[in-house]
């Protein structure tokens, strides 16, 4: 694991933690003023973008410039797109039911509880999950074929996220689809094209760090944690629990892959996900 600038990277970990915390503090102030904590979901993508930008500045003189610019650009495109999508989706709505349910049971001050249990937790996760974004920018030498493979995997992921979100938004905009289950486009191949896209994005960014065994070793926890969050944590599992009683969902679940895309089994019943 020689050749990796461990001292400089250790300093960067502190800068990245500060960037993630700053984003969450600003978001918390906005949320308190607005009276809704759902805005913290917008800060998820912004937090990663801030960490990437801070690392780009801090890694000057250490990592390869092409790799640093590539990693920062890919992270920023993913983060800004996600933040904009969540902001548009939540415009005009009240508190997110998840946060409302949690804060209703909060001991003491709701805002203080939200800060501890939501904002600080998300900030810590941004710091942890962004480890490949940080480590890759300290890798010496130009990107190899493995790094470009990671870029290609990131491209697949951002495509699944963007196309899947656009398809679902168009579907929901049609009043005739209210209460129905979306099972067209990418949603016919996987029940969670956006979560599968996230999976590809973070394994792709990890591959950009893998030209250095040291960077790979220190950051492999990131895509593993993200995969667990998407499949067993706050992603797929919670959403499917919420959807379980919807008319037509059982049939959709039976014929459609739960995560990795594949052709649907059998024929569609005409139900859709709304």
Q: Give the model confidence (pLDDT) of 107-163 as tens digits.
A: 888 899 999 999 999 999 999 999 999 999 999 999 999 999 999 999 999 999 999
Angle (CA) 93-235-254 rounded to 5° is 105
Tokens 């998820």 belong to residue: 44
- How far apart, in Å, are the Cα atoms of 46 and each of 30, 50, 85, 147, 258? 14, 6, 12, 24, 28
Tokens 């249990």 belong to residue: 117
Tens digits of residue pLDDT in 217-244: 999 999 999 999 898 876 666 677 767 7
Average pLDDT over residues 11-32: 97
pLDDT number for residue 226:
94
Tens digits of residue pLDDT in 31-49: 999 989 989 999 999 999 9
Maximum separation of any 2 CA atoms in the chain, in Å: 61
pTM: 0.91
Tokens 């699944």 belong to residue: 160
Using CA atoms, how far apart are residues 94 and 9, in angstroms rounded to an integer? 41
Query: DSSP per residue over 168-191, as a string?
Result: HHHHHHSGGGTT----SGGGGT-S
pLDDT number for residue 72:
98
Name the packing angle between helices 221-232 and 193-209 (round to 10°): 170
- Segment (H or E) for 156: helix 145-173
Tokens 């000057």 belong to residue: 60
Answer yes or no: is pLDDT of 1 > 60: no
Nearest to 208 by CA among 137, 128, 126: 137
């Amino acid at each position: 694991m020689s050749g990796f600038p461990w001292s400089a990277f250790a300093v960067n970990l502190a800068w990245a933690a500060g960037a993630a915390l700053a984003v969450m503090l600003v978001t918390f102030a906005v949320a308190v003023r607005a009276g809704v904590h759902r805005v913290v979901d917008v800060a998820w993508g912004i937090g990663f973008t801030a960490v990437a930008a801070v690392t780009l500045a801090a890694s000057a003189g250490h990592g390869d410039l092409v790799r640093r610019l590539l990693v920062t650009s890919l992270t920023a495109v993913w983060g800004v797109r996600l933040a904009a999508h969540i902001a548009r989706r939540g415009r005009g709505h009240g508190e997110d039911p998840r946060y409302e349910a949690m804060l209703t049971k909060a001991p003491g001050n709701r805002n203080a509880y939200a800060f501890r249990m939501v904002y600080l937790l998300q900030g810590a996760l941004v710091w942890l999950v962004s480890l490949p974004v940080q480590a890759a920018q300290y890798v010496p030498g130009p990107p190899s074929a493995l790094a470009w493979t990671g870029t290609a995997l990131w491209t697949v992921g951002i495509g699944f996220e963007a196309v899947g979100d656009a398809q679902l938004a168009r579907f929901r905009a049609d009043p005739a689809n209210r209460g129905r289950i979306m099972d067209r486009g990418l949603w016919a191949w996987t029940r969670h094209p956006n979560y599968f896209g996230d999976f590809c994005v973070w394994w792709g960014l990890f591959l950009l760090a893998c030209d250095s065994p040291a960077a790979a070793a220190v950051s492999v926890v990131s895509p593993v944690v993200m995969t667990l969050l998407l499949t067993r944590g706050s992603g797929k599992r919670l959403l499917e629990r919420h959807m379980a009683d919807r008319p037509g969902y059982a049939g959709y679940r039976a014929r459609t892959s739960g995560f990795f895309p594949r052709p649907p089994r059998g024929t569609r019943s005409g139900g859709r996900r709304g």
